[in-house]
Amino acid sequence: MGTVMKRVVLATGGTGGHIYPAVATAQVLQQRGYAVTLLGQRGGMEERVAGEQRLDFVGVSAGKFARSVRGLDPRQAMKALRGLQEARQFLQRHRPGLVVGYGGFASLPGVLAAQRLGIPTVLHEQNARLGLTQRLAQRKARAVGTCYPQVVGLPPEKATLVGMPVREEWLLRQEANARLGLQDGPLTIFIMGGSQGSVALNTALPGVLRGVLGETGLLPDDGVQVLHATGPRWIGDVQPQVRDLHWYKAVGYVDAVAAWCAADLAITRAGTGTLAEAAFYGVPTIMVPLPSSAEDHQRHNARAVEQAGAGRLVEQEQVSRQLGAVVLECLQAEVRARMRQAALERSPQGAAGRLADLAEAHYRP
């Protein structure tokens, strides 16, 4: 008889900010001898990422909550109920010892089904205010791992500070460049507007960087190249803008580990996951917060990073007027060196292990 592996299900999906922390935790749990399954929306980004990471995946239906109204519209409610039943059937068959929920609408079927079946649940909350889906699940959760010492809407006795899990993988610069099709040697600017891309950044940055790099003589032959992850949906809009620039590489989707390992400077949104990765890899970051982020959390995130000296904040409406000058400042070696050190001091290294510790503490075979 072979040894029966301990099974954990990680309920996640929707955006990279929910998916990649689950991937990071999955890798640690696998190293500790657990069988790990990601459970999320069928056909969602999480299914693709799980395949790329060679992680077991189960897809279910998921109804999306509308932020502007209370609850779901009827069609979304039917999807949510169907997903709950599908998740319940899977969990009844496999009876994991724990389900970990990472927030977002795609995590709800797995978490709520587990709670109805009496399977222990642990949550991870990445923001300083408890999200809607986590508010629905936190009462029956055994514990909540957090990224901030205090989380609005979460009873303090349920909170355990773990940080934001990131995939703790490193590549040598040369290998990262080879994977990405970049040159060795030039200073690399990495642009990423989140896992789905950003229309605002995609629209503004090609023109801004064309102007600032050309006007200052910092052409790629002199040591600058750009890697711009547009999001798969928007690659057809960006590539025509930069087709004549051999130093500007636009791609729909990018290997994030390789991109961070290759980057000398990043221009990004200010989601918690993105900024945690920037800190882990020690990459100075110019942050353009999403103006419509819930409770304006991206602006708060960016201000904290700027105050720590690890990045610069540029408001979205000021990108065309201010970003070029900020890029020029951050291209100076001594400025980047200071920012890199400040970023590394904010590194979430070990967060995946701490969340795995919390999961193991509440695992019940």
pLDDT digits (tens, 9 = 90+) for 202-254: 999 999 999 888 655 555 555 899 999 999 888 999 999 999 998 999 999 89
What pLDDT does 25 receive? 98
Least trusted range by pLDDT, from 8-22, 63-77, 128-142, 331-345: 63-77
Distance CA 249, CA 44 (A): 26
State yes or no: 12 annotated in a binding site: no
Contacts of 178 (CB under 8 A, 6+ apart): none
pLDDT of residue 68: 46
What does the buried/exposed string (b/e) look like for 222-256 if buried means 16 or more CB atoms within 10 Å of the residue's CB?
eebbbbbbbbeebbeebbebbeebebbbbbeebbb
pLDDT at 80: 77
For residue 226, report the phi and psi dihedrals to the nearest 5 degrees. Answer: -125, 135
Note the residue count of the chain: 365
Task: Please tell me whether 299 is known to bind a ligand.
Answer: no
Residue 127 has a pLDDT of 85
Is 177 labelled a binding residue?
Answer: no
Is 33 labeled as ligand-binding? no
Question: What is the C-alpha separation between 359 and 365, in angstroms, rounded?
Answer: 12
Q: How far apart are CA 114 and CA 104, in angstroms?
A: 16
Which pLDDT value is given to residue 132? 85
| Mean pLDDT value across residues 139-165 | 94
pTM of the model: 0.86
C-alpha distances out from residue 165 to 103, 169, 306, 349, Å: 14, 12, 21, 8
Question: What CA–CA distance (Å, rounded) separates 169 from 175?
Answer: 13
pLDDT at residue 346 is higher than 70: yes
Percent of the chain with pLDDT over 90: 76
Which residue is listed with tokens 């580990």? 257
pLDDT at 72 over 90: no
Model confidence at 148, pLDDT cuts 50, 70, 90, reads: confident
Q: Could you tell me if residue 103 is left (phi over 0), alpha (psi between -120 and 50 degrees) or otherwise beta? A: left
pLDDT band at residue 128 using 50, 70 and 90 as cut-offs: confident
Flag whether 301 is marked binding: no
What is the pLDDT of the chain when averaged over all its residues?
91
What is the C-alpha separation between 149 and 128, in angstroms, rounded? 8
pLDDT level of residue 42 (50, 70, 90 thresholds)? very high
CB crowding 332-343: b at 16 or more within 10 Å, else e: eeeebeebbebb
The CA R_g of the chain, rounded to the nearest whole Å, is 21
Q: Is 214 annotated as a binding residue?
A: no
pLDDT tens figures, 170-179: 999 999 999 9
pLDDT, greater one: 84 or 216: 84
Neighbours of 348 (CB within 10 A): 23
Is 68 annotated in a binding site? The answer is no
pLDDT at 1: 37
Distance of CA 194 to the CA centre of its chain: 7
What's the average model confidence in pLDDT over 244-271? 95
DSSP 231-284: -GGGHHHHHHHHTT-TTEEEESS--HHHHHHH-SEEEE---HHHHHHHHHHT--
